[in-house]
Homo-oligomer: A and B are copies of this chain.
Amino acid sequence: MKIVFLLFDRITALDVVGPYEVLARLPGARVVFAAPQAGEIRTDNRMLGLIADVGIADVRECDILVVPGGFGTRILERDEDLLGWLRAIDRTTQITASVCTGSILLAAAGLLENRRANTHWAHRHRLSEHGAIPTPERVVRDGKYATAAGVSAGIDLALSLAMELVSPEVAAAIQLTIEYDPHPPLDCGDAARVPAALRETIVARAKAREVELAAADIRAEPSADRATALRSP
């Protein structure tokens, strides 16, 4: 079973590492980390580097595709090379999955047209913009498309895939191996059950963060590129 995880600059690390930690333990799993270009990519906050062993041009088929999210999706959702690759590889998959805003990329590629899907709670409107039907469930399944809620939801998504693709016994063994018996010290993980003020603070902070990170990217670019970047909408 060949499992491809998409990596890209400005990725949210747990989006990809959560499902990797589960799916890599499936019997016979062959795991490939692929990015637009092979080599090091950095997480959303630039704090951690992950290695893409191959570029997407060298990955033409797989059984399971997992597309994680992160700020980087803002750029990639307009990247025709990436969207074309998603469409092409999707034609070969048994399961096409996403975590968090990874589903925005699948939707932008046209793969979730009129399909029920989820994403990070603060980004559901972006799914509708691309023709998908926002569905606030932790893991949403529509045909072969499995889309999870934000960040940590990728662990639940992957365990549900392990149950379906192999067996409940194998899923149970993996869950026990990663000792996934979650006990959050607070009960604040579901946007539908927290005060609106907390949601609004987080959305405002994320937007400010995104602007700040984009500005840092622009500062880091050579001056000619910088002028172009500042002019773009």
Interface residues of A (CB under 8 A from B): 12-14, 17-18, 20-21, 24, 31, 33, 40, 45, 47-51, 53, 100, 120-121, 138-139, 149-153, 155-156, 159-160, 163, 168, 171-173, 175-186, 188-191, 194, 198-199, 201-202, 205-206
Asked if B189 and A175 sit within 8 Å, CB to CB, the answer is yes
Q: Nearest Cβ in chain B — how far from A140, in angstroms?
A: 12
Asked if B24 and A47 sit within 8 Å, CB to CB, the answer is yes
Q: Nearest Cβ in chain B — how far from A134, in angstroms?
A: 14
Asked if A50 and B47 sit within 8 Å, CB to CB, the answer is no
Complex CA distance for A17 and B7, rounded to whole angstroms: 15
Asked if A191 and B173 sit within 8 Å, CB to CB, the answer is no
Asked if B151 and A177 sit within 8 Å, CB to CB, the answer is yes
Which of B21, B172, B185, B199 makes the CB contact (< 8 A) with A176? B199
Asked if A173 and B201 sit within 8 Å, CB to CB, the answer is yes
**4 A-B pairs closest in CB distance:** A181-B189, A49-B51, A150-B179, A182-B182
